Structure 1
Amino acid sequence: MRIRMLALAVAAAPFTPVMADNNASELDTVRVTATPTNQSQAELVQPALVLSGEQLDRQRADSLGETLAQQPGVSSSSFGAAVGRPVIRGLGGARVKVLQSGMEAMDASSVSPDHAVAVHTHGARQIEVLRGPATLLYGNGAFGGVVNVVDDRVPHADDHDGSETQLRLGVNSVNDGRELAIRHEGKQQRWHWHLDAAASRSDDYRIPAEAGEIHREADGETEKHDAEGKRLDNSDIEDNRQLTLGGSYELGGGSHIGLAASYLESAFGLPGHGHAEEHEEAGAAEEHQEEGPARVDLQQSRIDLDALIMRPFTAAQSLNVQLAVTDYEHSEGHEEVHDEAQQADAGHEEHAPTTFSNQAQDLRLELVLEPWAGVSHVFGTQLTNKQFSAIGGEALVPETDSQDLALFWLAETQWRDTTLELGARLDAVSHDPDQPGSVAAECGFSSRDVNHKAFTNHSLSLGLIHNLGHGWQLAGSLTSAQRAPAVEELFSCGAHESTLSYDIGNPELKEEQALNVDLSLRKNSGRFTTGLSVYQNQIDDFIYQNAVVENGALLQLEELQAYQFQQQQATLTGAELQMAYDLADYWQLTAMADSVRGKLKNGDYLPRLPADRVALGVNFESLNWSAFAQHMLVAKQDRLASFGRATDGSELQESATDSYQQLSAGVSYRISSAAAEYRIDLSGTNLLNQDIRYHSSFVKDRVAQPGRGVRLGLTARF
C-alpha cells in the first residue's frame, strides 16, 4: 500500500463548501500524503487542514504564503506578489518546513524574507498544512509546522483511474494577471505518466489610494503618505513558468518505482525598495547614479525518485525510498538609474547582482513493520546534503556545506477508545564554511569564529486521542524538540538592501529547545462540525533578530538598520477555532478565529506576530451552482517588539499595524457531460478595497496588499 496518513477533512474548516445532508454522516476522508502512518481522519493527533478542489482554486495565488494566508493559524511573510512564505502559529523561516510532494523544497526562502519559495502553486493538486511541531518526521526544527504541496509528480496507481486532462485559464483585474495551466495524467497497463505545466504573469498590482508608505519619524511617531499612483511600483511578475514530467511503473503487489523531472523559472520585482533621486549642488544638477528597483531572476531544476516496495521481507509491510536532487539559483539585482544625459547614452543598466545558489540532495527511507503485540512501528532515516553559496554585492553568508543525518521511529497502539502514539528522532547537523575569511571583519568575526559547527539534536513526542462518543474527540500531544541554528543565523554579515537591513549573525548560538503542549476538542461527524485547539510552545534559547541599539539610538551601518541574531527564552501561546453548520437546501454557515501571543523571557513581545482574526462565512452548493462569501476582521496589532530605549527614555519598537476588514465572494457554474466537465468561476477579493497589511511581513510599512480585484477563471476537465 502507498505509505500515507489520513487527516482531518477540510470540510470541517471554515469557507469549505459542502453539500448539506440531512443525515448525520462522517466527513469525507481527505488523504494527507506527508506522513507514513495510515490513519483515518479521526485518528490524527496533530491539527491539520487540506486545500484541494474548488477551495484551492479560490485561494490559489502566486505565492505559497498568500495562498494559505486565510487559513486558521496561518499567515504570510509577504514581500510583494511573488514572495510570501507561510507563518504558522507565529513561527516562520526555518521553523516551518515546506515540502514538494513529501520532500523538502530546497530553495533559499528560509534565508531571507525577500526570497521566494520555489514551489509553483499553480501545479498543485492539494496543499496540506500540519500545524504544530513536526520535527519527528521532517527534521531539524519544524517547530511551527509543515506545508506539503502535492502535485503527484511521481504518479501512483491509486492517484487516478484512466486518463484525465485538466486545463485552467484565469485573468485578474487587480494586476492584469494572466494564467494558463494544464495537467494530464494517464496509464497504459502498468505504466503511469504525469505532466503539468503552468505559466503566469502580471503587472504592478493596484492598491487603495490611502495605501502609501508609512514612515517612522525621529520622535517615534509614524507618518503615512498616500500612494502617488494606483499601482504599487515594482510589484509585477514578469514571468513565472513551470514544467513537470513524471512516470512510474507498477512492479506488482502494490509496489512501484517512478521518476520525475521538473523545471521552474520566475522573474519578478521586490517592491518597496530602490528609487531614483535627483541631487543638486551649487544650483547645478550633480551627475550621479542611484540604485533602482530590486529585481529577481530565479531558476530551479529538480529530479525526484520514488520507489515503494511492498512486503520487502518478513514482518515488514512496506519500504518507501525517496530521493530529491535540486539545483536552485536566483539572482538579485538593482537597476541603475542615471540622469537623463546618461540614460540617453546608456539607458538603464543592472547593478552587479548577487547570486544565491543551493545544490541539494535529500534521501529518505521509511519502513513500516507489521503490528506486533498490538503495536505498529515505523522506522526511518533521512540524509540531507546542501551546498549553499551567495556571490556578489549582498553575499551575506559564506559558501557553506551543510549535512543532516537523522533516524526516527514512530509507534502506535490502541486501548479501547484511546489511541496512543509515541515517537523519537535523532539528528546530527553540521555546517562547514568553505572560506571563513569571506565574512566581513566589521561584524567582529574572525576565521576562528566562522568554522565547523556541529549539533546533535533529539526530539520526543507523546500523543493520544480519546473518542468521547457521538463524533466528539479529545486529542493532545506533548513534544520536546531541538533545532540547530541555520547558516544565516550563525554567519550573516553585511548589507541586505532588499530588506533595508544590515544583518549580523552570531557564531556562538546554541541549539533551540522547544517544549510544546497541544490540546484539541473536535467533532468530526454530523450536521455540526468543529475543532478547537489550544497550545503553548516554550522555546529555550530562542533565536531571533533584534535591532541593534547603540548610545540610545538605533545603529545604522552603511545607512541601513543593523540587526543581530540573539537568544533568549520565548513562549508562544495561542488558540484556533473553526466551525461549520450544514443548513437545509445546500447551505452551510462557517466561522473561524485564531490568536497567538509570543513573549520573550524579559517580557518583550516577539516581532512580527500575526494579529488576532475572526471570520464568518456562508457557502452554497447545488448540482450545478456553488457560491461563497466570507468576511474576516483582523484586529489592530499593537503588541509590539521592543528594541531598547532611546537616550530620552522613550521606547524604540516596531510599528503597529491597523485593523482591517477583508471581504471576498464568488460564484461558480458547472456544466457536465459524459465526456467532459466545465466550470466557470467569478470571484472578488478585498471587495471593501481596504488598506491591508500583514503584521508578519517584514515590509508591511512600505508594501500594502492588493486592493479590490475580480478574478475570472475557466476550468475544463476531460
Structure 2
Amino acid sequence: MQRRILVAALTAVAANTLANEQPLEHVLVSVPLHKTEAETALPVTVLSGDELKRLATTSIGDTLRDQPGIANASFGPGVGRPVLRGQAGPRTVTLQNGTASADVSSLSPDHAVGVEPFLAESVEVLRGPATLLYGGGAIGGVVNVIDNRIPRSVPDTLSGGAEYRHDTATGLDSLTGVLEGGTGNFAFHLSANTLESDDVEIPGNALRFPEEEEDEHEGEGAERGEIPNTDTEAGSATLGVSWHLGDSGFVGLAVNHQEREYGVPPGAHGHHEQEQDEGHEDEHGEEEETIRIDLEQTRYDTQLHLHDIGGGVEVLRGFLSYTDYEHRELEGAETGTVYDRETFEGRLEVVHKPIADAHGVVGLQWREDEFEAIGDEAYVPPTESSELGLFIVEDIHVGDWLLEVGLRGDWVDRDPEGALDSADFTSVSVSGAGLWSVHDNWQLGVSVSRSERAPSTEELFSNAGLDDPEEFVTHAATGLIEIGDSDLDEEV
C-alpha cells in the first residue's frame, strides 16, 4: 500500500494555535464531567495535537481508520465513514461539537460525512454510558469532532496559524488557516480550509472487464495508473464569537459553510452493470456517465455554559444547532437526484453537585428533521421526523471501584409524505462501565450495554408502498434495490 507523505509549512502571528503541543492529559469534552482519559471507566479513543495533524485526511473515516476497533467505509477519497466495532450507518453517530452532523451519509455509502478533520482540535470516539447523551441508537459508538469555533476562553493575544500539506498518492494540496483573538469579555474565531486532490494513482488497470470483453475494449484507452473520477475539491469557512461572563461561563454562536465536489469511482454507481445486463445494445450504448457529488452545507451553532448557579446545579450546558444540507448527484451534464435536509437540534445538560457517592448529569435532547430526495433515483419519500430523548448518566465511587451508569429514553415519530402511515417508536437504552483500581499503576475496566434504536427513514420507507417490482427504484450507488418495512420495531 502506498503511504502518504505529508509536507507541511507553518507560519504564525504572535502565537501559532495550530502548532500547540498535545497536552499530557487530554480532557474529554464529550463526557459529562469533562474528565481525563485516566479518570473515566469509559472505553474511549482520542486523537488530538500532533497525532491528529499527522493523521488528518479528507474524511473522518480515513482519519480514524488505524485506531483499534475502528475501520473506514470508503467509497473513493471523497467519502470515508467511521465504522465502530463493525457498526456503521445509523448505528454510529457522528457529531460536530456535540450535535449531529446532520448530513445524509447514512443513506448511501457514496455520501460524505459533513465534518472537516483538518480544522479539528480533537476527535473523541466514545463507547459506553456517555454515548447516551447523544442518542440511544449509537449502538456502535459516537464520534465527536471538536473545534474551537465557539471560543471557550478569551485569548491573551491575537494568534493564528497556517498549514499546507501535500499527499503524493492522491496529489492532495490542502491549505488550512486559523485566526483567534479577543478583548475584555469578547472572543472570536476565524478558520478556513481549501483542498484539491487528483485521481488516485494505482499500478495497472483501473477497470477489470470479463474475459469475453477483453477484445471489445482493447484499444479504447482504458485507464492505467490511476482510478478515474476520484478527484476531490472542497472548501469551508467558519466564524465564531463568544461573550464570557467572568468565571461564570460564556455564551457564543458560530456559522460554518462548506462546499465539496467529488467523483464516484467508475462502475460503482450501477449504470454500467445495468447496460451490460441489457445485452450490450449498441456496443454498450452510451459510455457510462461520470457521477459526481456536489455538496453544500451551512450550519449555525449556539452554546451556553454556566457554572455554579446554585440550587444543587454545578454546570448548565445548552447546545442548539441548525443545519441546511443539500447535495446534487451529477450524472454527466445532468442533475440526477437532489438530497435536501434541514435539521434543528437542541440539548440541555444539567450537571448536579455530588450527592453522597454519585456525581452526574441529567438532560434532554430534541431534534426536528425534514428530509427530501428529488429525482429519478429517489427511493425514499420526503419525511419529517421528530425526536425527544431524556437521559441520566452518573459516576459512583465505591471503594476502589468507579462505576459509570446511564439510562436513556427516546420517543421518535417519522411521518412520510403521501399515503404511507407514520411510524412511532419508544426505546429505552441502558449502559454501565466499571473501573477497578487494582494498584496505583494498574486498572481493570469492564463495560456492558443494552441499546434500542428506532429504525431510520430509509429502513422504514425505501420503495415502500410499491407492489410491482418493475416500479422499484434501484439504489444507484450499490446497484441494489432497497425495500423498507414500515412495520419494523425497535432494533435491540
> Over alpha carbons, which structure has the higher Rg?
1
Q: Secondary structure at the match of 1:482?
A: coil
2:74 equivalent to 1:73: no
2:290 equivalent to 1:293: yes
Report the alpha carbon displacement of residue 317 of structure 1 after superposing the two structures with TM.
Answer: 0.7
Q: Is the 8 A contact 1:135 1:459 kept in 2?
A: no
**Distance in 1 of aligned mates of 2:376 and 2:453:** 30
Correspondence for 1:157 among 153, 172, 179? 153
* 1:131-280 mapped onto 2 (5 Å cutoff): 131=127, 135-157=131-153, 161-209=156-204, 212-213=207-208, 228-237=223-232, 239-273=233-267
2:472 equivalent to 1:489: no
Unaligned runs of 5+ in 1: 1-26, 218-226, 336-349, 436-446, 514-718
**Distance in 2 of aligned mates of 1:393 and 1:156:** 46
**Distance in 2 of aligned mates of 1:352 and 1:178:** 28
Report the alpha carbon displacement of residue 98 of structure 1 after superposing the two structures with TM.
Answer: 0.3
Correspondence for 2:414 among 421, 431, 445? 431
**Distance in 2 of aligned mates of 1:351 and 1:184:** 40
**Distance in 1 of aligned mates of 2:210 and 2:348:** 51
Q: Is the 8 A contact 1:183 1:197 kept in 2?
A: yes
Q: Is the 8 A contact 2:32 2:360 kept in 1?
A: no
Q: Secondary structure at the match of 1:66?
A: helix
**One-letter identity of the residue aligned with 1:109:** S
2:373 equivalent to 1:377: no
Report the alpha carbon displacement of residue 228 of structure 1 after superposing the two structures with TM.
Answer: 4.0
**Distance in 1 of aligned mates of 2:101 and 2:402:** 32
Q: Is the 8 A contact 1:133 1:143 kept in 2?
A: no
**One-letter identity of the residue aligned with 2:352:** L
**One-letter identity of the residue aligned with 2:60:** L
The equivalent of 1:115 in structure 2 is 111
Report the alpha carbon displacement of residue 182 of structure 1 after superposing the two structures with TM.
Answer: 0.1
1:349-384 per-residue CA deviation (whole Å, 9 max, x = no partner) reads x23421111100000000011112232131110001
**One-letter identity of the residue aligned with 1:455:** F
Report the alpha carbon displacement of residue 416 of structure 1 after superposing the two structures with TM.
Answer: 2.2
Q: Secondary structure at the match of 1:195?
A: strand
Q: Is the 8 A contact 1:93 1:109 kept in 2?
A: yes
**One-letter identity of the residue aligned with 2:447:** S
**Distance in 1 of aligned mates of 2:262 and 2:36:** 42
The equivalent of 1:451 in structure 2 is 421
Q: Is the 8 A contact 2:337 2:377 kept in 1?
A: yes
**Distance in 2 of aligned mates of 1:216 and 1:409:** 60
TM-score by length of 1: 0.59
Q: Secondary structure at the match of 1:31?
A: coil
Q: Secondary structure at the match of 1:94?
A: helix
Q: Is the 8 A contact 2:128 2:432 kept in 1?
A: no
Report the alpha carbon displacement of residue 393 of structure 1 after superposing the two structures with TM.
Answer: 1.2
2:438 equivalent to 1:478: no
The equivalent of 1:607 in structure 2 is none
1:154-191 per-residue CA deviation (whole Å, 9 max, x = no partner) reads 11118x55332110012222222211110112121111
Unaligned runs of 5+ in 2: 1-22, 213-221, 464-472
1:621-674 per-residue CA deviation (whole Å, 9 max, x = no partner) reads xxxxxxxxxxxxxxxxxxxxxxxxxxxxxxxxxxxxxxxxxxxxxxxxxxxxxx
* Distance of aligned partners of 1:389 and 1:285 in 2 relative to their CA distance in 1, 3 Å threshold: closer
Q: Is the 8 A contact 2:371 2:384 kept in 1?
A: yes
* Distance of aligned partners of 1:38 and 1:170 in 2 relative to their CA distance in 1, 3 Å threshold: closer
Question: Which of the pair is proportionally richer in strand?
Answer: 1
Q: Is the 8 A contact 1:133 1:144 kept in 2?
A: no
Report the alpha carbon displacement of residue 51 of structure 1 after superposing the two structures with TM.
Answer: 1.2
The equivalent of 1:308 in structure 2 is 305
Q: Alpha carbon RMSD of aligned pairs, Å?
A: 2.5
Correspondence for 2:431 among 455, 461, 465? 461
**Distance in 1 of aligned mates of 2:129 and 2:351:** 22
The equivalent of 1:323 in structure 2 is 320
2:370 equivalent to 1:413: no
Q: Is the 8 A contact 1:133 1:145 kept in 2?
A: no
Report the alpha carbon displacement of residue 135 of structure 1 after superposing the two structures with TM.
Answer: 4.3
Question: Which of the pair is proportionally richer in helix?
Answer: 2
The equivalent of 2:19 in structure 1 is none
2:485 equivalent to 1:506: yes
Work out the percentage of aligned pairs sharing the same amino acid: 38
**Distance in 2 of aligned mates of 1:482 and 1:287:** 47
Q: Secondary structure at the match of 2:364?
A: strand
Q: How many residues align?
A: 446
**One-letter identity of the residue aligned with 2:371:** F
**Distance in 1 of aligned mates of 2:460 and 2:440:** 52
**One-letter identity of the residue aligned with 1:256:** F
**One-letter identity of the residue aligned with 1:77:** A
* 1:531-570 mapped onto 2 (5 Å cutoff): none
Q: Secondary structure at the match of 1:468?
A: strand
Q: Secondary structure at the match of 1:382?
A: strand
**Distance in 1 of aligned mates of 2:68 and 2:129:** 16
Q: Is the 8 A contact 1:133 1:142 kept in 2?
A: no
**Distance in 2 of aligned mates of 1:213 and 1:312:** 66
Q: Secondary structure at the match of 2:381?
A: coil
Report the alpha carbon displacement of residue 103 of structure 1 after superposing the two structures with TM.
Answer: 1.1
**One-letter identity of the residue aligned with 1:265:** E
1:431-454 per-residue CA deviation (whole Å, 9 max, x = no partner) reads 00022xxxxxxxxxxx3xx31100
**Distance in 2 of aligned mates of 1:140 and 1:431:** 16
